[in-house]
Chain A
């Protein structure tokens, strides 16, 4: 899920209700038993744009992308606004490219070096049908059945979450999230560390291990669920996404993984865009209540953009608060209990309390499910692409381009958009075509030492 985080002004409370954005996180569908932590909830990835109606200049800027997306109008002088919009949009894209790339790098590096994650060692309970069958048809059927089961589990969890959220069972949701992140940060990290140490034949005694894992996990819990430096929170979110993706890569059988990737993009599309889709309902509910997104499931990157031009929106001057501060106060008042604490720290040290006229805070948010499934795609390409780096790289570029396009659409439509479909489609197309068409071509060229 992608959200633009604009600075708040006083009049945006009612404006947010009228805007199509809502600050809702994807479904946290952590599983109660063992393995799959946050994968279900994070699978429903969503995009939101968050223009504040009270800030006209930003709206103008966000509408400017239309001008550069459509064919250039002849005779139009290259406006400063247009250039700034382009740069502003580009900054958002890069703010997402970097974490997605980092997550993929971690996953690919692990897959290529640690043998554990490419060994077949059983399957998850969500994919009970085996793929070790005699005929191709049977294998295909089994993978489709696995996909159906997995997707229905995800749908059920999503609906469960929507129901919980609608009936304000916040404590349950928080407990669920905390359980999942506990499991990811401690158990999966322990397993990962064990396998990495085994691969490199490094000995580590239990006291050191205990100290390391405890510190890592405890700081992670604090950073993700409470307060912490933004960079550290981002780093932890990337790491838990990578760990989750590695679990998927290990335990999902081959064909099931590809079919699941395809099916989940379709589900994402449906859930976010259909009027009765669970994610959309969640969006609208959160919007009505003016509540922040669960920080444990959203990667956010706050950015400060200096407005150096004449057309400055006056309402942005009062906006030097923590994002969602008014919402925090609202939810505090309305619920009569402490609201879910905000995890984003102001990105600049000198930022609170100063009347800096030129600065506005912007941010983009992407759901962790998107990270996970992008990394699963690239990781699977690295694991099964017959030792071929070209396939991995092709999938990587395809996913980045998909992300770019989705961000473009977000700037155009300015509403919740699913981040999975375009990237996963491109990724799948490029995986299969590179593996089957490009690889023989490049191999043959290399063996004859030809150059194109």
Chain B
């Protein structure tokens, strides 16, 4: 794996190039959420209809497979890429995802981290985690971390840092570590305490890791306290290694992360939107350019997304978003999608996830363009301000 920073911008963003496997990705980049290795709804043949190479960068949680398939069988098949039929793709393994593998800080103990999954609560120890990583062979993987919410006691928080550092060493010194073939990202925790965040970041930076995985966010800290924490971490990290983060899903949160110098983001935003029937529509200004007739009377949208289940779309023969080049907008109308949702057809989610993924990848593209033009700060301020104005406007006219 190779990473280099190509450009910096005002407002803190950095554009980089990540070369891994046979792919090159421009950063900041989105890791597409998967479930057991494949997207939730987008079938493998449709995955390649999304912008490339962006659509080849996938987030993966090893825990999804823990109760369903043995490590031995995965090894026999030849690892993740072979098992999923996605040999050209790049997998970044992280135990936590925002959907079916949620860190459970109360059940974690000194021997391992705990996660709430559909198979119940799983306790994962470093040695077991490394066995998974070595049979799956993802391109990148983060070390096991004890992620705690922002409100825990100082003592619990400090313990989480100590444990995470110990598990980091257990992982990279494990005999399995040599077999993984992937780049190791050291996990950084520390909750909402700046001093602990710094301590953890500095310690992890001392280890021989290829990148950093910042954990513990999206677990109860407020958006206001986040920038200080993120900056405290990134200031302690070397410039030339990529930084990945879990738990920052919303566009505004992604912008916070980019401003702090983070390169890779996984996000369950697309998944939750899709389940709810929401389609992203925002443009570069953060809100959709609707016609005046549906701007504020549009009770089914907030300027950034629309709810395709709403009755007003029953006869709407236009695509979700005019000019969108995704498969769904090229082929289908809001009326059809509305019908699919009303009849509980799986195709509704498939088509919508395609659009939302396409759209969100486009958002990341906009971020990269802004950084390369040296205008990230302006882009971010305008994006956030326009969305606030829209909400204020809608609220005051209600």
Q: Do A and B come from one complex?
A: no
Identify the A interface with B (CB < 8 A): none
